[in-house]
Amino acid sequence: GCRWCTTDACLEHERITLLHLKPFFVYRNPLQSWVEVKGSDCCKWEGVECNTTTRRLIQLSLISTKWEDNREYSMDNRNLIAWYLNASMFLPFEELKRLYLSGNAIGGNLENEGFGKLSFTLSNLEILDLSYNYLNDSILLSLSELSSLRYLDLSYNQFEGSSHLRGKLSLVWC
């Protein structure tokens, strides 16, 4: 009686969600394996890892889709315009454990569509990498609601607060 169950491919609603995410992350990386073919196994797509039993997405790695090389990152030399992330786009990924969004020119999240909205649905999210973006202090409140996080990387963003937030900020919980 599971309407999403499948044995040989990822879940269809997760595949469709990934295809909706693709246009936001194709600036430098065309994500060529992400194809709009019904039944295409998104568990085999670039940057996607699935649970081998449930075939649900457990890791999404969309690193440096906006910048070619993070090592040459400079807060003063970014040529791209920041964009606001609708974090609720990740809601269908109920088993997601690791989300890597480093180097994507994300300037924040849409009001009422931030990471706080994910706190109940993404109860397995343990790793969140938002380094090398345009984030500022306003993101901190919505991130505080993600109680399952064990590792949060906010390094190389634009925090105005205390000096330890301006440079590298990676938090690890045990």
Distances (CA, A) of 138 to 38, 42, 65, 159, 162: 39, 33, 23, 9, 14
Q: Which domain holds residue 106?
A: 12-65+81-153
**Residue 159: closest CA among 171, 147, 173, 145:** 171
Number of domains in the chain: 1
Which tokens in the block code for residue 111? 């009001």
Report yes or no on 164 lying in a domain.
no
pLDDT digits (tens, 9 = 90+) for 92-137: 999 999 999 999 889 887 776 788 888 888 899 999 999 999 998 8
Quick check: is 163 in a domain?
no
Mean pLDDT score of the chain, rounded to an integer?
81
Q: Whole-model pTM?
A: 0.81
Decide if 135 is inside a domain: yes
pLDDT score recorded for residue 68: 47
| Cα distances (Å, whole numbers) of residue 163 to 112, 158, 160, 168, 172 | 28, 11, 8, 10, 19
Q: What CATH number does residue 30 fall under?
A: 3.80.10.10
Query: Which tens digit of pLDDT belongs to each residue from 155-169?
Result: 999 887 654 444 445
Examine residue 104 and state whether it is found in any structural domain, yes or no.
yes
Amino acid 110: pLDDT:
76
- The residue with greater pLDDT, 69 or 14, is 14
Average pLDDT over residues 54-83: 69
DSSP 48-110: EEE-TTT--EEEEE-TTSS-S-GGG--TT---SPPEEE-GGGGTT-TT--EEE--SS-EEEE-
Confidence of residue 10 (pLDDT cuts 50, 70, 90): very high
Does residue 171 lie within any of the structural domains?
no
